[in-house]
Structure 1
Amino acid sequence: MPLLMAGCANAPLEQAGSLSSYSDLDQADGLLAKSKIRIRKDEVLAARTVRIIPTTFAEGARTETISDDQRKLVGNAIDRTLCAGLSDRLEVVPASQPADLTVRAVVTHMTATDEKAVATTKVVSVAKSFLLPGVPVPTPRLPIGLGSLSMEAEARGKDGTPEAAMVWGQGANFLSGAARVSTAGDAYELASAFGNDFSKLVVTGENPFKSLSGPPPAERFQAMAGGAPKYAACEAFGRAPGVAGLVSGAVGAPPEWTDKGNGVPAAPAETAAAQ
């Protein structure tokens, strides 16, 4: 564990001002993720419907080395994962319709991935397969240029009362996860980690890091494979790349090659103050 943490990118728990309050958040760290949460369990579990406002980026998360199209892809990956995870218990309705809960997420910090370092790692991996064919020797990433993602999100009731909130941050590490030759590669991979953690908080009403998740429902498997999501409202975030996405991740291809996003032109950037 100390070795893993030593080779992990730093992901600060920054505040973008989109949450109702930061004073009553409790520390709730996972194995790799740092997090602070707030949950009103009874109120959250009483909810039956949810709508998702598309993820936005705070000004501090807009690095020049990551393009607007790449940011859009990362934001959409967050929303797609949230939609799939929340569907385990809640009915997801379109963002234009009222719901028991409204979920909104903001990217507060994002560090680019060093494409050259990832490419070098992939070259070493290929060389190993030739020199040691059939030998299961892992190929760690070069522990430089690791990307990171920091988020904050809140679920509010019909009257605007904050029912659940999370400030979250996680960096890529050199031992686990898919390394992609893209400046947005690590942020894209970490998008699903955040989406799973926040949706579990809302679905269970409990700290998502206290227990291991069980096997996902059949509908989630179908969506992960690129099939139709459980609820039509999730189609707003496009479909997962499926097998093609898994293969491209394994070989280190940029997510832009297989993930088509939501197919909707990017909206003008919103600052945290506009939230």
Structure 2
Amino acid sequence: MLALPPTDMAFDMISAPRIGAVSTVFLTLLALPACATKPPTQTGFLTNQAGMEKVSGTVRAQIERQRDLSALRAVQKLTLLPAKLQEGGDIPDTITPESRLLVLGELDRQLCFQLSRRFELVGPEDPSAARVQAVITRLQETSATASAASAAVSWFLPGGSVRLPVGRGGLSIEARLDLADGQQAAAMAWSRGAGVVMDEGSLSEVGDAHRFTANFADDFADFLVEPGKPKRALTAQDPCQKHGARLDLGRLAAGQVIGLHVPRPNSPTPQNN
């Protein structure tokens, strides 16, 4: 856990030269490209990539997608298959199996949370349900050292967090929705890297990728329904209860205190390959 200086020491530390040095670092960061996002991948997981269109106007993520909206309108029930790492994907060997499972588990969790607000989620035994699956095609490591240094710099700067131009992580995902007959009705290739501003770091080697799963899940789930369609009310029997609470206030509060993203552990351990 990153230790921040006590309040009674802070004023002694913030001398004019120190403020000037931090300001210089801040201005340098602002002069750098705001995002380290790499283009979406094309691994062959998507069975039909014809008509994939690049989404314009996105600030942080790069997205390519296609859908058959008329087919999607008829979808009422979904089966969410476990997320996987794409075979031959850009996954550094230095990322541990435990960290890989951490991201896979969070991707399953966030997709479940988002899709359950738009469709009825059912088990794989229902032959009439459409199926959704996502694969992680690229993981970029987050440097704990660079994140801690970034948090220390951010502590002196009001109004948000900044990141040093090294050690920033990222995530790339491909996902598709197949109808009950196996026809692909929607596909998305999505990629996001941590920027130098407003993307807090993490002491986890997959902290950025872990956090970005929520952004992807929201983008993908929104794409499967018509704009403005009301979300489904949560039922008493939450179909995502195996993933834990939808809002982990304790973890969020801890992250606010230290200025770093704190990944939520998997519970239970996801059965992914």
Q: Which bin holds the TM-score, normalised by the shorter protein?
A: 0.7 to 0.9
- What is the rounded CA distance, in whole Å, between the counterparts of 1:5 and 1:49 in structure 2? 45
Equivalent residue number for residue 115 of structure 1: 144
Q: Does the CA-based 8 Å contact 2:200-2:260 persist in structure 1?
A: no
| Distance 1:230-1:12 versus aligned 2 partners, 3 A rule | farther
Equivalent residue number for residue 86 of structure 1: 115
Equivalent residue number for residue 212 of structure 2: 190
Question: How far off is 1:119 after superposition?
Answer: 0.6
Q: Does the CA-based 8 Å contact 1:86-1:203 persist in structure 2?
A: no
- What is the rounded CA distance, in whole Å, between the counterparts of 1:85 and 1:54 in structure 2? 15
Show the 5 A alignment for 1:80-229.
80-126=109-155, 128=156, 136-204=158-226, 219=234
SS in 1 for 2:201: coil
Equivalent residue number for residue 255 of structure 1: 262
Q: Does the CA-based 8 Å contact 2:83-2:136 persist in structure 1?
A: yes
Question: How far off is 1:44 after superposition?
Answer: 0.5
For the pair 1:242 / 2:223, whether they are aligned, the reply is no
Match of 1:41 among 38, 45, 69: 69
Bigger mean CA offset, 154-163 vs 245-254: 245-254
| Distance 1:67-1:215 versus aligned 2 partners, 3 A rule | farther
Equivalent residue number for residue 105 of structure 2: 76
Matched to 1:56, the amino acid is K
Equivalent residue number for residue 36 of structure 2: 9
Q: Does the CA-based 8 Å contact 1:188-1:255 persist in structure 2?
A: no
| Distance 1:138-1:238 versus aligned 2 partners, 3 A rule | closer
| Runs of 5+ consecutive residues of structure 1 not aligned to the other structure | 130-135, 207-212, 220-228, 270-275
- What is the rounded CA distance, in whole Å, between the counterparts of 1:66 and 1:47 in structure 2? 37
- What is the rounded CA distance, in whole Å, between the counterparts of 1:218 and 1:123 in structure 2? 41
| Distance 1:96-1:123 versus aligned 2 partners, 3 A rule | farther
Matched to 1:57, the amino acid is L
Query: TM-score with structure 1 length normalisation?
Result: 0.78
State the Cα RMSD in Å: 2.6
| Distance 1:149-1:25 versus aligned 2 partners, 3 A rule | same
Residues 105-124 of structure 1: CA distance to partner in whole angstroms, max 9, x if unpaired? Answer: 01111100111110111223
Q: Does the CA-based 8 Å contact 1:65-1:183 persist in structure 2?
A: no
Question: How far off is 1:186 after superposition?
Answer: 0.4
Looking at CA atoms only, which structure, 1 or 2, has the larger radius of gyration?
2
Question: How far off is 1:214 after superposition?
Answer: 9.9
| Distance 1:47-1:81 versus aligned 2 partners, 3 A rule | same
Question: How far off is 1:64 after superposition?
Answer: 2.2
| Distance 1:9-1:163 versus aligned 2 partners, 3 A rule | same
SS in 2 for 1:6: coil
Identical aligned pairs, as a percentage? Answer: 29
- What is the rounded CA distance, in whole Å, between the counterparts of 1:217 and 1:233 in structure 2? 12
Equivalent residue number for residue 224 of structure 1: none
SS in 2 for 1:34: strand
Question: How far off is 1:157 after superposition?
Answer: 0.4
SS in 2 for 1:164: strand
Q: Does the CA-based 8 Å contact 2:37-2:61 persist in structure 1?
A: no
- What is the rounded CA distance, in whole Å, between the counterparts of 1:106 and 1:255 in structure 2? 23
